[in-house]
Structure 1
Amino acid sequence: MKTVKLGSSDLQVSEVCLGSMTWGNQNTQDEAFAQIDYALERGINFIDTAEMYAVPPSKETSGLTETYIGNWIATNKSRRDEFVLATKIAGVGIPWIRDGGKIDGDAIRQAVDGSLRRLQTDYIDLYQLHWPNRMSPHFSKHWPGQVDPTDTDIEQERAGLLEILQALDEMMQAGKIRHIGLSDDTPWGISEYLRLAELHDLPKMVSIQNEFSLLHLKDWPYLIENCVFNDVAYLPWSPLAGGALSGKYANGAKPAGCRWTMQQRNGIFRDTAHSHEAIAAYKEVADQHDLSLVQLSLAWVYQLAGVTSTIIGATSMEQLAEDLDAYSVALSAEVLADIDGVIKRFPQPF
């Protein structure tokens, strides 16, 4: 598997990143260990997690995913340098994490130390802000009227961003984190953090991870252009739309143990009539070209211009193997044209 530079950082990461949010809920520690071992064997050198995981989030499982990864590191101490480890500080609204408070300097100091303790490591390669303090157009809030930017006190927001950068710089100077990035943010968020970093001689954000798939294309082309021109790595998460692009929810099916059977913090917002119509149309394209729907969906994201590394997640080794095998699938011009036809019919299914 190829490795690429992570934005303006000095890190080289595999073009596929192993996500971990099911570890501690749908997956046991032994299953997490098996996924890590297998991913490393297949050339993955990039693992992403978060302090609030497992997902769906709960007080009982909060921090458990990091703990599983930390236990793997403790068991394989000589292998820590084999992979780039990314984690995230939770934003406002999780009551059992710092009383649901916003991200600020004190929260960053507490969260970094907590993650280091659970991960049983001396440093975090990439430390990310899970979502902004302000209301942002993510998690099905991208439709008109869902977010009103005129409600934001922009000067207060800028002061908060500067405090965050200063605290992250403090953590970098202490050697606790190596690089910083964003998650679930916007073109303005990227640009403002970069502007403040340059103005105040503070560290630059080197990456952003946002939801992106054939069912959720709102970052194309404007946010991705921003990333490319500013040397910020773009890391799509949920490239299978929460498993929907595996086809397992076709015809109203909800297999036991799957994510759509669980209570979600933001609801099952991907489950719409247009989503199911789009999935059926993509399945037709896949069938016509002797591909699985998973291969078609992942290969399209893996190979899209501007994508740095795609974050995948699996609850079984069979799923993980299929996700990684899709990396080697080359989509012909004819397949891409057929995919474009479906995109034009269903540009924003949810």
Structure 2
Amino acid sequence: MTWGLQNSLAEAFEQIDYALDQGINFIDTAEMYPVPPNAETSGETERFIGEWIRANPGKRDDLVIATKIAGVGLPWIRNASPISGSTIKEAVEGSLQRLNTDCIDLYQLHWPNRISPHFAKHWPGMVPHTQVDRAQQEAEMLDILGGLAECIKAGKIRHCGLSDDTPWGIGEYVRLSEKYDLPRMVSIQNEFNLIHAKDSPYLLESCVLNDVAYLPWSPLAGGVLSGKYRNGQVPKGSRWSIGQRNGLFRDTPMTHEAIEAYATVAERHGLSLTQMALAWVYQTEGVTSTIIGATSLSQLKEDIEAYHLQLSQEVLADINIVFRKYPVPF
């Protein structure tokens, strides 16, 4: 999601090549990337991936490419319209062209049309549940599933999934797909990390028991859990040095207190904070695959190495002490 703004085409190629050499085959992107989104760069990340495929045509089948349709709110993408069956068909065509591929392996809804408790909207009173028109939501979901069905039938996408949704959203899509014999959502990607773990246990239970893959995004909480922003630092070129669409909502006094506490645990056990935080996500029951957003190749290497780290019960116990003290720091 940084390719096209924080990363050059050459750097994107370097990261893809390295990831493939390490056995990674899942690449997640979106039509609105890079972030923060704007009209000038919209779609560039997909284009970079498409250029890599153009340069490496024999390796396309080695990849599982996932992308996402933007939800309501971005005026330069379909006039900020909500997701529907017709906009899905339009968006799929654009992504296929930019990705330089005939078929998208996993096509996801970037966020639901209704307000969902994501991007720091997880506090009580922030999501108007009682104002949601359930019948309207069902009609929209059926229309969306219909559009996805047409794309699957045409061979343009293989599977479909969700992003930034809830247990109700998962359950409703599963119910409607079974009732009307429509495509089934196979995955969901939500933020999940040591300072934002609200999906455990309820959404994770929905995923496991509904056979829906859980794909956490931002396992380092937008880079906060790397420790790069400790002591008031904002490194040049980092995420916090660039204005964000939803603001720096993780930048709170309690977040920084939590980071210091986790850093102490990591130092006590001779671990890097980054790898400890990633390994905790990787080892969480129900996690299927983790979406990392490394900007540099050195960051990517450190992130991948964390896959081979098995946290001991002693480390997990110390992490749990901090977690209980800072369960919702932002």
TM range (shorter): over 0.9
Matching of residue 218 in structure 1 with residue 198 in structure 2: yes
Unaligned runs of 5+ in 1: 1-20
Matching of residue 263 in structure 1 with residue 243 in structure 2: yes
Q: Distance in 2 between matches of 1:245 and 1:291?
A: 13
TM-score of the pair, normalised by structure 2: 0.99
Offset of residue 295 of structure 1: 1.0
Matching of residue 209 in structure 1 with residue 189 in structure 2: yes
The equivalent of 1:154 in structure 2 is: 134
Choose from 271, 274, 295 the match for 2:254.
274
- Deviation by residue 1:258-291 (Cα, 9 ceiling, x = unmatched): 1111111111000011100000000000000000
The equivalent of 1:7 in structure 2 is: none
Residue 76 of structure 2 aligns to a residue whose secondary structure is coil
- Deviation by residue 1:187-233 (Cα, 9 ceiling, x = unmatched): 00000000000000001000000000001011000000000000000
Residue 161 of structure 2 aligns to a residue whose secondary structure is strand
Choose from 319, 325, 336 the match for 2:305.
325
The equivalent of 2:112 in structure 1 is: 132
Q: Distance in 2 between matches of 1:50 and 1:218?
A: 24
Aligned residues, how many? 330
The equivalent of 1:119 in structure 2 is: 99
Matching of residue 336 in structure 1 with residue 316 in structure 2: yes
Choose from 23, 28, 32 the match for 1:48.
28
Residue 291 of structure 2 aligns to a residue whose secondary structure is strand
The equivalent of 2:165 in structure 1 is: 185
The equivalent of 2:14 in structure 1 is: 34
Offset of residue 145 of structure 1: 1.2
2:257 is matched by which residue type in structure 1?
A: E
The equivalent of 2:155 in structure 1 is: 175
> Percent of aligned positions with the same letter in both sequences?
67
Q: Distance in 2 between matches of 1:309 and 1:134?
A: 26
Q: Distance in 2 between matches of 1:136 and 1:65?
A: 25
Residue 211 of structure 1 aligns to a residue whose secondary structure is coil
Q: Superposition pairs for residues 237-316 of structure 1, below 5 Å?
A: 237-316=217-296
Point out 4+ residue stretches in structure 1 off by more than 4 angstroms. none
Choose from 81, 84, 102 the match for 2:82.
102
2:62 is matched by which residue type in structure 1?
A: E
TM-score of the pair, normalised by structure 1: 0.94
Offset of residue 251 of structure 1: 1.1
More strand by share: 1
2:26 is matched by which residue type in structure 1?
A: F
The equivalent of 1:11 in structure 2 is: none
The equivalent of 1:164 in structure 2 is: 144
1:294 is matched by which residue type in structure 2?
A: T
Aligned CA-pair RMSD: 0.5
The equivalent of 1:89 in structure 2 is: 69
